[in-house]
Chains A and B, each alone.
Chain A
Amino acid sequence: MWRFILRRLMWMIPTLVIISIISFIIIQLPPGDYLASYIARLESRGSNVDQATIDSLRMRYGLDDPLIVQYFKWLGNILLHGNFGYSFEWRLPVSQLILERLPMTFMVATASLLFAWSVALPIGIFSAVKQYSLADYFFTVLGFLGLGIPNFMLALVFLYVSNRYFGLSVGGLFSPAYLNAPWGIHKILDLLSHLWIPVIIIGTAGTAGLIRITRANVLDELRKPYVETARSKGLHPMLLILKYPVRIALNPFISSIGFILPGMISGEVIVSIVLNLPTTGPLLYSALLSQDTYLAGAFVLMLAVLTVIGVLISDILLAWLDPRIRLS
């Protein structure tokens, strides 16, 4: 097992190097750079930017260096100093910007993930065991509705209803009164009273798909001969289903964990914008729009690294759960 993990860790290194090169190329691909658009904006407002200032700025950001030099400067700063560069737009270090939003982002993402799983798994298993029952059809319809309704639409409806009928302050994760208040029990309660809306909205989208996947996986496994064997042993039907088919039907779930981690950071951009959530999604979106090179670059790199880590985690979990993978 340890050798397996070590081998996978070794493989991560070349993968990450290639990823960093590709992400750097991607953020350099669009024509122009932030400085060019910044100067254009200044000039359009009538202020005159003299060549000397431009040159000194270009010098400071190293924009005239060959790409390869820029790449190594970028990577060197990240690896040696933990310095992800400077956001032109926000005039703040990129790391500070992202770090500010990470805790809330992870909280919203984890909460909605837990919500989705705790709703979807039991329903999916139930639908499979009671295939073609009334309840199965009910959840199938509900699931397809959930898949079909766009999230931002649901977000708008929620906003309207919660404001119009429950008088809740809309959007964000805090009421205005608590926005800058220090942490305390009241602030946490306020957070919880806001959190459920994004959690349900983001959660339901995943829930619908998860129900379908769980149902299909469990159905596949229910027909396997080992289920019949387990029946012939006199196991309680509920225990039987949980111990054998569900256990094996979980494997595809575990293997999808790798894509959940990056999804936590980049996911649900539109919902976050609609609900005005202080998460990283909208930040990434605006960074891409305004060619905020280092901010966007840091995001792309972070997403890639999280994907690699996520895949590693799901591989380890899979190997732990499924002996067939561990030994091959």
Chain B
Amino acid sequence: MTSRPIISVRNLEVGAMSRHGMLRPLRGIDLDLPFGQTVGLVGESGCGKSMTARALLNITPAPMRITGGTIILDDGKAPPQNLSALDPDGVAMRAIRGARVAMIFQEPMTALSPVHTIGDQIGEMVRIHRKLGRREAKAHAIEMLDMVSMPNARQRYDAYPFNLSGGMRQRAMIAMALACGPDVLVADEPTTALDVTIQAQILELLQRLQADLGMTVLLITHDLGVVARTTKRVAVMYLGEIVEEASTIQLFDTPLHPYTQGLLSSVPRLGSRRGRREPLPTMRGTVPSALVELAGCAFHPRCTKAVAGLCDVIKPVMAEVNPGHSARCLLYPEVLVASKRGSSVVQPEPVS
């Protein structure tokens, strides 16, 4: 039912040594981006969503680096390549970055240079990757501004980020990311910094462009509403791992993982059956730091359904519970069996 993945991530790990021990923001990510689809990646702050985005472009912030796993890019333009094996600053990686896999960021005000015009920053893409001259790059940049429905594109070419409203800045950012016609767009919280009406416009724009250009989009957000309206498939992240993966409809219909259930129940809804005076349920605790090494399931200390002697002992693996719907929770027999078979029984380490 899913088409060939354009990006296929297997067991991706990102880490760095710190004075407190090994930091492991990504602990073995498996993720497929099917060609031409929008996949959502959700989770709380600090769960590794943004790190996943950066790892896909091999721009993990120093001292973080990819310590294991593969990221296979297979966009048909070149033989499949493993991005995690490329030198982050090397020619091969830089030729892919921006041209074949592009990224848009959360805060367009700070993510665009304050002292360069947006036209220059958009045109830079084609100057780098297509070696276009200034004049051609300018024409292309104006075309891109038109494409993202920037009003007065020609005049806006010379505008600086601070001349523009938040929504227009994000349009400029999108124009920049798409300037080389990338096949994959990684959007890291593209609407979080915008107010609600502008959010809707930007999401519509992204959906329109995705459909028009046949792009594959990885949409990273903590906003389940955004996921529900824009994505076909969703992956839920917790502490550097994917804990549930399903089609968007399945996930909202029958969330399997207690973490996903918690996320969904803590979204306020208008006209819900819940009484007005009943407080919105919240999950206890927060995502542990990337330093923490837990025996068993990473979520068990916060889980309301955790079974002592099981969840704090056996490390769960991802397994398909319903067709096309996988989870990483030992409460499901399929997962339990797979976890035991995968010989991933982890003895609780002695507390030092």
Using CB atoms and an 8 Å cutoff, list the residues of chain A in contact with chain B. Answer: 224-226, 228-237, 244, 247-248, 321-324, 327
A228 to chain B: which residues have CB within 8 Å?
54, 59, 61, 105, 111
Q: Is there a chain A Cβ closer than 8 Å to B306's Cβ?
A: no
Asked if residues A234 and B115 are in contact (CB atoms below 8 Å), the reply is no
Q: Is there a chain A Cβ closer than 8 Å to B57's Cβ?
A: yes
Which one of A234, A247, A323 lies within 8 Å of B99 (CB-CB)?
A: A234
Asked if residues A225 and B128 are in contact (CB atoms below 8 Å), the reply is no
Q: Is there a chain A Cβ closer than 8 Å to B96's Cβ?
A: yes
Known: A228-B111, A230-B113. 6 other contacts (CB 8 A): A228-B105, A234-B97, A234-B99, A235-B94, A244-B113, A323-B160
Asked if residues A233 and B128 are in contact (CB atoms below 8 Å), the reply is yes
Show 22 A/B contacts (Cβ-Cβ < 8 Å), sorted by A.
Answer: A225-B105, A225-B107, A225-B111, A226-B112, A226-B113, A228-B61, A228-B105, A231-B57, A231-B97, A232-B59, A232-B98, A232-B102, A233-B102, A234-B98, A235-B128, A237-B89, A244-B116, A248-B114, A322-B115, A324-B115, A324-B160, A324-B162
Q: Known: A324-B160, A324-B162. Is A233-B97 also a contact (CB below 8 A)? A: yes
Considering the chains assembled together, what is the distance between the CA atoms of A234 and B127 in angstroms? Answer: 11
- Chain B residues 76-116 with CB under 8 Å of chain A are 89, 93-99, 102-103, 105, 107, 110-116
Considering the chains assembled together, what is the distance between the CA atoms of A244 and B110 in angstroms? Answer: 12
Q: Is there a chain A Cβ closer than 8 Å to B244's Cβ?
A: no
A322 to chain B: which residues have CB within 8 Å?
114-115
B251 to chain A: which residues have CB within 8 Å?
none
| Nearest-CB residue, chain B, relative to A239 | B128
B93 to chain A: which residues have CB within 8 Å?
234
Considering the chains assembled together, what is the distance between the CA atoms of A235 and B128 in angstroms? Answer: 7
B97 to chain A: which residues have CB within 8 Å?
231-234
B213-226 interface bits toward A, Cβ cutoff 8 Å, 1 = contact, 0 = none: 00000000000000
B59 to chain A: which residues have CB within 8 Å?
228, 231-232
Using CB atoms and an 8 Å cutoff, list the residues of chain B in contact with chain A. Answer: 54, 57, 59, 61, 89, 93-99, 102-103, 105, 107, 110-117, 124-125, 128-129, 160, 162-163, 173, 176-177
A224 to chain B: which residues have CB within 8 Å?
110
Q: Which of A226, A235, A247, A327 has the most CB of B within 10 A?
A: A226
B117 to chain A: which residues have CB within 8 Å?
323
Q: Known: A237-B89, A323-B160, A324-B160. Is A232-B103 also a contact (CB below 8 A)? A: yes
Instruction: Specify the main secondary structure of chain A where it touches its partner.
Output: helix
Considering the chains assembled together, what is the distance between the CA atoms of A321 and B110 in angstroms? Answer: 18
Which one of A234, A247, A327 lies within 8 Å of B129 (CB-CB)?
A: A234
Considering the chains assembled together, what is the distance between the CA atoms of A234 and B102 in angstroms? Answer: 9
- Identify the 9 closest CB pairs spanning chains A and B, nearest first: A234-B97, A234-B98, A233-B98, A234-B94, A232-B103, A225-B110, A225-B111, A226-B113, A229-B111
B113 to chain A: which residues have CB within 8 Å?
226, 229-230, 244, 248
| Nearest-CB residue, chain A, relative to B109 | A225
- Distance in angstroms from B275 CB to nearest chain A CB is 43
| Nearest-CB residue, chain B, relative to A131 | B62
| Nearest-CB residue, chain B, relative to A247 | B115
Considering the chains assembled together, what is the distance between the CA atoms of A235 and B54 in angstroms? Answer: 15
| Nearest-CB residue, chain A, relative to B95 | A234
Q: Which of B59, B113, B173, B176 has the most CB of A within 10 A?
A: B113
Which one of B61, B115, B176 lies within 8 Å of A248 (CB-CB)?
A: B115
Considering the chains assembled together, what is the distance between the CA atoms of A247 and B114 in angstroms? Answer: 11
A237 to chain B: which residues have CB within 8 Å?
89
Q: Known: A323-B160, A324-B162. Is A235-B124 also a contact (CB below 8 A)? A: yes
Considering the chains assembled together, what is the distance between the CA atoms of A225 and B113 in angstroms? Answer: 9
Considering the chains assembled together, what is the distance between the CA atoms of A231 and B57 in angstroms? Answer: 9
Which one of B94, B112, B160 lies within 8 Å of A229 (CB-CB)?
A: B112
Considering the chains assembled together, what is the distance between the CA atoms of A2 and B183 in angstroms? Answer: 46
